Amino acid sequence: MVSGVVLTSELLERETWLEHGFGTRHDGAWTPDASTARLKQTHSATSVSTFAPGHFGEGDALLSTQQGLWLEIRTADCVPVLIADPVRRAVAAIHAGWRGTAARIVAEAIEQLVDAGSRRADLLAAIGPSIGACCFEVGKNVADHFPDDRIHRDPRPHVDLIEANRRQLIGAGVQRIDALGRCTHCDAETFHSFRRDKGDGRMVNAIRVR
């Protein structure tokens, strides 16, 4: 925990060269505006590399090696994924809703890291709180995108987005993965949930090179 309101990954906590966190409904938008890069999130497979703060158009993954620059994505049921390369000291923040997961946003971001010089085996990944398979009931049109992550329940199927993104990470060559395993829909005290609350509350999830 950071200040009692931001969750952290034990895997990423071991890396003293970076800072990171997965927000809660109590985080108070914890990253500073003056040194933060953001995107207009559109549930896409678009990754953007940046070395400066500000808004960088539409997309759902930010990548950087710039010291002191927070990469921020916001979620309220979608899957936040933070990636770090301790060799190149590169980081990425990814927003993976069901559309982005179906479009393989995590795999696409890793390919961009690899194209920039990262080695797959060096990468570390942390999957933050999101809606769990317990609560993500979907229609057939969504379930059909996830034949390997679909859970058959009555009256409608459920989809495990956390597992879908974990499998994408493994398929992309990432060997060290930490999934926090917290369901945003189940825990109303701690997390915003778009599906549960039908509101505009969002959690801040971010990572940076110190």
The torsion angles phi and psi of 167, rounded to 5 degrees, stand at -70, -35
> Measured in whole angstroms, how far is the alpha carbon of residue 15 from the centre of its chain?
18
pLDDT value of residue 153 = 85
Residues of the chain scoring pLDDT < 70: 1-4
Q: Assess if residue 33 is contained within a domain.
A: yes
Q: Assess if residue 168 is contained within a domain.
A: no
Rounded-to-integer distance, Cα 136 and Cα 128, Å: 16
> Measured in whole angstroms, how far is the alpha carbon of residue 64 from the centre of its chain?
15
Helix, coil or strand: residue 7: strand
Q: Assess if residue 166 is contained within a domain.
A: no
**E runs forming strands in 6-117:** 18-22, 36-40, 47-49, 54-58, 61-64, 70-75, 79-85, 90-96
Rounded-to-integer distance, Cα 14 and Cα 12, Å: 5
Domain that holds residue 81: 10-130+176-209
Helix, coil or strand: residue 132: coil
Query: Tokens 């400066």, residue?
Result: 52
| Domain total in the chain | 1
Q: Assess if residue 170 is contained within a domain.
A: no
| DSSP structure class, residue 163 | H
Give percent above pLDDT 70 in the chain.
98
Give Cβ neighbours of residue 13 (< 8 Å, ≥ 6 apart): none
Q: How many CB atoms lie within 10 A of CB 114?
A: 15
pLDDT value of residue 4 = 58
Q: Assess if residue 3 is contained within a domain.
A: no
pLDDT value of residue 200 = 81
- What distances in angstroms separate CA 193 from CA 87, 107, 158, 162, 185, one per listed residue? 35, 25, 17, 15, 5
Q: Assess if residue 54 is contained within a domain.
A: yes
Is there a contact between 38 and 18 (Cβ–Cβ < 8 Å)?
Answer: no
Which CATH number do you get for residue 181?
3.60.140.10
Give Cβ neighbours of residue 193 (< 8 Å, ≥ 6 apart): 76, 77, 131, 184, 185
Q: Assess if residue 59 is contained within a domain.
A: yes
Model confidence pLDDT, tens digit, residues 130-184 = 999 999 999 999 999 999 999 988 889 999 999 999 999 999 999 999 999 999 9
pLDDT, the chain, mean = 95
Q: How many CB atoms lie within 10 A of CB 151?
A: 15
Q: Assess if residue 154 is contained within a domain.
A: no
